[in-house]
Structure 1
Amino acid sequence: MLPENFRAFDADNHYYEALDAFTRHLEPEFRKRCMQWAQVDGKTRLLVGGKVNKFIPDPTFSRLAQPGVLENWFRGTATGSLIEQFGELEPTRPEYRDRDARLRAMDELGLDGAMFFPTLGVGMEQALIHDIPALCAAFRAFNRWLDEDWGFAYQERIFAAPYFTLADPENAVRELEWALGRDARVIVMQYGPIRTDRGWTSPGDPALEPFWALAAEAGVTVVYHGGNSAYAQLVSWWGESHEMEAFRATPMRGLISPEPIADTIAALLSYGVLARHPRLRIAAIETGADWIPPLFQRLKKSYSQLPHAWAEDPRETLRQRLWVSPFHENDLTALREVIGVERIMLGSDWPHTEGIARPLDFAKDLDAAGFGADEQVRVMRTNAESLVRRLP
């Protein structure tokens, strides 16, 4: 049980982007190549690279379902259709777009602090992957909007993460230098392989070494957050649409086995990024956690068969470098056994529908999984809070 009047630190909160999040600070020469708004069949649609984007059904966020209404759906305990679970939509609440209103909402939710991530933004990189200069320009503009509207460390309670694409390694380094100068504590990017002007590559590509070195030296936390990755192309090989659309998953899309987050972490390990940079902290948020035990099994086999290929046991490297925010429906007991309680974090996904309406309710799942009082405090506060503090 948590102590009385306990206040948590949430590793996964979200805002709903302003209409001009990608355009307010966009360099004029890219205006027709990045994000634009248009009226299509009487509805306001988002054009990305001149094409209607379907990642979010209503990217204006004019009418929204209440936080956490799909919790039981994701636990597999809901009855009725998915549409029925949404209930009546409501206008956008002030706390979804205003940081001071959000602080008041956090007080009501029992949150002392939280990491904040995009809602729309995590689905935009693949939409511009064919135009890398425009992709970089779009997220330069986005990050400046984010700093202006939310701040990277507002009141030492809201820690909004600027978004990074590694498609242009030199741009990524410049952008990281800028973000560090604005006191960014966490940064966010998409998992999966990286498309550069030389083709597809790994996050362990030598061209990215300056980026990883700077991130490690600065002590900033690098977050891989769920969204639309290059693996959307993979599902098209099985006859599925290559476009990811929220709440329009098919059974096949949910059953295809490869895990882009697991493969991304494997790449950081096998290319030596994590071993070379012992100060580098990686967090996997809104990616679930059921992929972690199988990855550890594969790492055990690889280290046994190819010990000369590893600078150290990759399982131990991962236990030191990776933090994870599991889904509330994941096997928390198995996760603790593999990665340790010191690396597990509350991530409510508030105010998204698939998250937890009351973040402190996650303690009930921890209690059911046999986590003791001290362990619950670590998961509900200490572990995530440590990641927004720069390493000395």
Structure 2
Amino acid sequence: FNYHDRIFATPIITLPIVEKAIEELEWCLERGARCILIRPAPAWGLRGPRSPGLPEFDPFWARVQEAGVLVGMHASDSGYADLASIWEGKTEFLPFKPNPLRLLVMQNRAVSDMMAAMICHGAFTRFPDLRIATIENGGTWVRPLLEKLEGVYKKLPQDFPEHPLDVFRRNVFVNPFWEDGLEGLIDVMSPDRILFGSDYPHPEGLGDPVSFYDDLPSSLPPDDAAKIMGGNLKELLAV
């Protein structure tokens, strides 16, 4: 998974059977993995879907933290098509044929719920050195999630060993889309936690990927711009 310290392939690990997930993680680490991918979704098992933030998954997260490996959470089939189907009935998912309601209901919802579950179920508090990078999920979901977490914290502060916003800003790194703009994201989280990503050659990216730099806020200090464009990821991958 490490090609001359230049290209780092990202193996995918599934969580339902924790012991097997740890075995897969060890296999990946032995082969040079610097980053693994976990689907932002509940882990399905004999008892149905379960939050990966629950204590039953702690042995896996403990080994991830010990290894210092980055966890990527890329946009995936997280099962959220069921949310749209509640309104539209069961319909066929067709490639390159967008559906406005499905896009509205499903876009960014899974990653937001996943981060909420990891915070509310205490995984990030039990493992404060976990590093989660949300990839190809954009950044527009961050502010609404933080506002909701703030609201819940005000009502139930006794259920949070740490302020949830502090936890998010410590453990989570975000890869925004170009069209999101960065001003709003920088308002709610540090440039130290923002990652440039090209998604090249997919259409979500730019024809000239590094031109992303040209649209960074003019008020952004050069050191922070350098972190976003590669410095943060370089540190996360230890290269």
Normalised by the shorter chain, which TM-score bucket?
Answer: over 0.9
Aligned position for 1:310: 160
Deviation of 1:287 (Å): 0.3
For residue 226 of structure 1, the aligned residue among 50, 75, 85 is: 75
Deviation of 1:297 (Å): 0.6
Deviation of 1:371 (Å): 2.2
Aligned position for 1:381: 230
* Match runs of 1:1-392 below 5 Å: 152-239=1-88, 241=90, 244-256=93-105, 259-367=109-217, 370-389=219-238
Give 1:342's aligned amino acid. Answer: D
SS in 2 for 1:222: strand
Give 1:356's aligned amino acid. Answer: L
SS in 2 for 1:329: helix
Question: Kindly, what percent of the aligned residue pairs are identical?
Answer: 40
Deviation of 1:218 (Å): 0.6
CA RMSD of aligned residues (A): 1.7
SS in 2 for 1:200: strand
CA deviations over 1:25-81 (Å, ceiling 9, x no partner): xxxxxxxxxxxxxxxxxxxxxxxxxxxxxxxxxxxxxxxxxxxxxxxxxxxxxxxxx
Give 2:34's aligned amino acid. Answer: R
Instruction: Please give the alpha-carbon distance, in whole angstroms, between the structure 1 residues aligned to 2:141 and 2:116.
Output: 11
Give 2:74's aligned amino acid. Answer: H
Query: Matched residue pairs, number?
Result: 238
Bigger Rg, structure 1 or 2: 1
Deviation of 1:228 (Å): 1.4
Q: Is the 8 A contact 2:42 2:49 kept in 1?
A: yes
Deviation of 1:167 (Å): 2.4
Structure 2 length-normalised TM:
0.94
Tell me which protein shows more helix as a share of its residues. 2
SS in 1 for 2:125: helix
Q: Which runs of 5+ in 1 are unaligned?
A: 1-151
Q: Is the 8 A contact 1:233 1:242 kept in 2?
A: no
Tell me which protein shows more strand as a share of its residues. 1
Instruction: Please give the alpha-carbon distance, in whole angstroms, between the structure 2 residues aligned to 1:203 and 1:220.
Output: 17
Instruction: Please give the alpha-carbon distance, in whole angstroms, between the structure 1 residues aligned to 2:191 and 2:91.
Output: 37
SS in 2 for 1:195: strand
Instruction: Please give the alpha-carbon distance, in whole angstroms, between the structure 2 residues aligned to 1:209 and 1:303.
Output: 23
Instruction: Please give the alpha-carbon distance, in whole angstroms, between the structure 2 residues aligned to 1:326 and 1:293.
Output: 12
Moved more, 288-297 or 298-307: 298-307
Q: Is the 8 A contact 1:235 1:242 kept in 2?
A: no
SS in 2 for 1:224: strand
Aligned position for 1:133: none
Q: Greater relative contact order (Cα 8 A, min sep 6): structure 1 or 2?
A: 1
Q: Is the 8 A contact 1:221 1:387 kept in 2?
A: yes
Instruction: Please give the alpha-carbon distance, in whole angstroms, between the structure 1 residues aligned to 2:93 and 2:42.
Output: 17
Q: 1:382 to 1:243 in 2, by over 3 A?
A: farther
SS in 2 for 1:387: helix
Q: 1:283 to 1:189 in 2, by over 3 A?
A: same
Give 1:209's aligned amino acid. Answer: D
Q: Which runs of 5+ in 2 are unaligned?
A: none
Deviation of 1:341 (Å): 0.7
Q: 1:237 to 1:176 in 2, by over 3 A?
A: same
Deviation of 1:246 (Å): 3.9
Deviation of 1:244 (Å): 4.7
Give 2:13's aligned amino acid. Answer: F
